[in-house]
A = this chain, B = another copy of it.
Amino acid sequence: MKRLTVLVLMIAITASLVAALFVAVLPFAAESADDPKPPASFRHWYHVNAMVIDKASPLFAAMGGMHNVYINSTGEAALKKGVPYPDKTVFLIDLHEFTISDGSYVEGPRKLTAVMLKDKKKYASTGGWGWQAWAGGDPTKPLVTDATKQCFECHQARKDQDYVYSTYIP
Assess whether B109 is in contact with A169, with CB atoms less than 8 Å apart. yes
Q: What B residues does A53 contact at CB under 8 A?
A: 103-105
Q: Give chain B residues whose Cβ lies under 8 Å from the Cβ of A43.
A: 46-47
Which residues in B have their C-beta under 8 angstroms from that of A60? 103
Query: Chain A contact residues: over half helix, strand or loop, or mixed?
Result: strand
When distances are taken between beta carbons in the complex, the residues of chain B under 8 Å from A52 are 52, 104-105
Using a CB–CB distance below 8 Å, which chain A residues touch chain B?
43-47, 49-60, 66-68, 70, 96, 102-110, 169-170
| A111 CB → nearest B CB, Å | 12
Q: Is the CB of B44 within 8 A of A46?
A: yes
Q: B108 to A169, Cβ gap below 8 A?
A: yes
Enumerate 27 A-B pairs (CB-CB under 8 Å) in ascending A order.
Answer: A43-B46, A44-B44, A44-B45, A44-B46, A47-B47, A47-B68, A47-B70, A49-B107, A50-B66, A50-B67, A51-B104, A51-B105, A52-B105, A53-B105, A54-B103, A54-B104, A55-B103, A56-B102, A57-B104, A59-B103, A59-B104, A60-B103, A68-B68, A96-B169, A105-B105, A107-B169, A109-B169
